[in-house]
Structure formats: C-alpha cells, structure tokens
C-alpha cells in the first residue's frame, strides 16, 4: 500500500467547486495554520506537489506552484496598458502576490492594499512567500470593506485591481456590484484602468457574464482576457479589463513589457495581446463592448 494511502495517516483538503459535484482534492502533508477570523476561516497547509496552499472558507486562494500565473496576469496587463501608472489601488489580495507584481513597476510611487480582513495580511506575513513586498515603503495598508474605501476618492488612482474572493463567499459580493464599479470609475484618473478577476467559464460563468455586463454599463472600453490557474476551478481563469480611454491590445507599452518579462515566469509582451483572443463559447457570451 502506498505510504499516502495508509488509513488515518493523512489529512486531505477538498475544494468543492460551485454546485458541489466536482472539485479538487489535495493531500495535506503539513498543516501550518488554521484560524477562524471575524470574516472567514483561514487554512494554510503544505502539499508535496503544489507547495504551500492558502485557502479561505475552503476555497483555494494561492499555492506556491501557480500563484504567479494568476498574479502576473492580473497585475501586468493593466499596468503595461497604462502609459505611466504612479498610484495603484488593490482591493482584496491580502496574500500580497498582486502587490508584489505591482511594485515591480519602478514608476509606482504608492500602492494601497485594501483588505477587509487584517488577519489575512497577518497570516500571509507569517506563513506565505507572496508577502515579500509588505515592507516596501511604497506599500500602504487599509483594513476595510473595499466598496466603502473606494467611495472616498475622486480622480486619485491610475490603476485599480480587484483581487477578490468569489462573489458568493464571505464579503466578496460587495465587490461585484454596479455601484462599486461606478465608485471605481470615479476614483480613477483620466487614463484610469480597472481590472477585476472574473471567475471562470465552466463553474461560475454566470458571474463572469454578470460582472462583464455591470462593468460595461460603467466603462466605455471593456475586454475580457484569459489565463491558466491550475488550482482554481476549471484551471482556466477570466479577467476583465476596463478603461476610460485605453485599448489594451492597441496601446500597451510593448518595449517595457518585453524588458520586464525577462524576470517574469508567465506574462510576456506577446501573451499581452494573445490573452484577449477567446474561445468561441466565451466570446459569443461576452458580446457588447468587446
């Protein structure tokens, strides 16, 4: 009997995808941290194949093996589409991976991480490598509901990135409303760009479509793009890019993207364009402003 099959020897984690009939299982070789906060349950454990895994309310947020795929695509597509991003707001993203990617851009003077749950940031600082940029002096932390926070700003940020949990989990729902997207529009400067994680086309496609429609009612330019994130439901993730005037395919900083991609593991200047080319069944559902 393989060592891992000995009854009672191991813990297992089950990430149930929406519907509850399909999901990903992972063996827990080392349970690192488990905690109930005011908002959600935090679990951090190690898996022999994926490395350290971080989950909220039983939903996988990051693993060492693939967090870069998600964070690089969420951050660099808007950052290289903007001509000169100086002031950036990240809503959610308490693990720090998106912040790390944003702070790779030398022109950034200020990056605010607005995370509702301070305990997530604390756990990340203690247990996750994605927190490596927390001490960068350009990073600021705000612990509150992102929808309330963004309402207080007008004409303030160049790029806003929504790195939320699922709309149906915990406090995530606040970050998927039309009112929230309108607040983001108002908080952005003239060349402002909003990018949101927008779920997947198999288990959560209803949410992708709702998100796309709501953002399209607020921003003049809206385009969906794709990337791989093996430990998220379906492994295939969608993002929505929205802007006041910038087209991300026609007008991105190609040379800067090419330069930085030398240091990156996923994103590159050719993918920046290719990621906007979607399969028919997705393209046909996300009509309108595409």
Known binding positions: 40, 71, 95, 115, 145-146, 163-166
Residue whose token pair is 């870069």: 68
> Closest approach of Cβ 202 to a copy of itself, in Å?
5
> Closest approach of Cβ 5 to a copy of itself, in Å?
8
Q: What is the distance between the alpha carbons of residues 46 and 67, in angstroms, rounded to a whole number?
A: 14
Q: Say whether residue 270 binds a copy of itself (CB under 8 A).
A: yes
Are the C-beta atoms of residues 118 and 142 closer than 8 Å to each other? no
Q: Say whether residue 202 binds a copy of itself (CB under 8 A).
A: yes
Active site residue 186: no
Separation in Å, CA 178 to CA 20, 47, 125, 198: 28, 38, 33, 14
Q: Say whether residue 23 binds a copy of itself (CB under 8 A).
A: yes
Judged by CB under 8 A, which of 8, 14, 106, 137 binds a copy of itself?
Answer: 14
> Closest approach of Cβ 78 to a copy of itself, in Å?
18
Are the C-beta atoms of residues 79 and 102 closer than 8 Å to each other? yes
Are the C-beta atoms of residues 261 and 272 closer than 8 Å to each other? no
| CA Rg value for the chain | 18
Q: Which CB sits closer to a copy of itself, 20 or 106?
A: 20
Judged by CB under 8 A, which of 32, 41, 65, 251 binds a copy of itself?
Answer: 65
Q: Say whether residue 47 binds a copy of itself (CB under 8 A).
A: yes
Q: What is the distance between the alpha carbons of residues 2 and 287, in angstroms, rounded to a whole number?
A: 50
Q: Say whether residue 264 binds a copy of itself (CB under 8 A).
A: yes
Q: Which of 94-102, 104-112, 224-232, 241-249 is the region at the interface with a copy of itself (rule: CB under 8 A)?
A: 224-232
Which one from 136, 163, 255, 256 is the annotated catalytic residue?
Answer: 163
Site for a copy of itself (CB under 8 A): how many residues? 46
Q: Say whether residue 69 binds a copy of itself (CB under 8 A).
A: yes
DSSP class of residue 17 equals P
3-state SS of 113-138 is: EECCCHHHHHHHHHHCHHHHHCCCCC
Q: Say whether residue 50 binds a copy of itself (CB under 8 A).
A: yes
Q: Say whether residue 236 binds a copy of itself (CB under 8 A).
A: yes
Question: For the range 12-17, what are the long-range contacts, defined as Cβ-Cβ under 8 Å and sequence gap of 24 or more?
Answer: 13/43, 13/45, 13/47, 13/53, 13/55, 13/58, 14/58, 15/55, 15/58, 15/59, 15/60, 15/231, 15/233, 16/58, 17/203, 17/233, 17/234
Q: Which of 144-152, 154-162, 210-218, 273-281 is the region at the interface with a copy of itself (rule: CB under 8 A)?
A: 273-281
Q: Specify binding-site residues for spermidine.
A: 71, 95, 163-166
Tokens of 238: 């969608």
Judged by CB under 8 A, which of 102, 108, 184, 271 binds a copy of itself?
Answer: 271
CB atoms within 10 A of CB 31: 12
Applying CB under 8 A, the residues found at the interface with a copy of itself are 2, 4, 14, 17, 19-27, 29, 47-50, 65-66, 69, 202-203, 226, 228, 230, 234-236, 261, 264-268, 270-271, 273-275, 277-281, 283
User: Which active-site residues does the annotation give?
Assistant: 163
């Amino acid at each position: 009997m393989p060592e891992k099959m000995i009854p009672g020897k191991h813990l297992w984690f089950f990430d149930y995808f929406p519907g509850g009939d399909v999901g990903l299982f992972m063996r827990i070789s080392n349970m690192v941290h488990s905690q109930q906060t005011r908002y959600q349950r935090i679990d951090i454990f190690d898996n022999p194949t994926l490395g350290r895994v971080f989950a909220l309310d039983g939903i996988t947020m990051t693993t060492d093996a693939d967090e870069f795929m998600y964070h690089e695509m969420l951050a660099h597509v808007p950052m290289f589409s903007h001509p000169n991003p100086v002031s950036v707001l990240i809503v959610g993203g308490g693990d720090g991976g998106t912040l790390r990617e944003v702070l790779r851009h030398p022109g950034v003077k200020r990056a605010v991480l607005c995370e509702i749950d301070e305990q997530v940031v604390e756990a990340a600082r203690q247990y996750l490598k994605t927190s490596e940029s927390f001490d960068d002096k350009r990073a600021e932390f705000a612990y509150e509901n992102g929808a309330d926070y963004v309402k207080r700003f007008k004409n303030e940020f160049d790029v806003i990135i929504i790195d939320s949990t699922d709309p149906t989990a915990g406090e995530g729902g606040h970050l998927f409303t039309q009112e929230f997207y309108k607040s983001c529009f108002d908080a952005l400067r003239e060349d402002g760009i909003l990018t949101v994680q927008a779920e997947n086309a198999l288990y959560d496609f209803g949410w992708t479509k709702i998100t796309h429609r709501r953002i399209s009612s607020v921003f003049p330019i809206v385009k969906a793009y794709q990337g791989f994130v093996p430990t998220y439901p379906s492994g295939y993730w969608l993002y929505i890019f929205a802007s006041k005037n910038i087209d991300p395919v026609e007008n991105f900083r190609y040379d800067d993207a090419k330069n930085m991609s030398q240091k990156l593991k996923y994103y590159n200047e050719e993918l920046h364009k290719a990621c906007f080319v979607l399969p028919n069944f997705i393209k046909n559902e996300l009509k309108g402003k595409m």
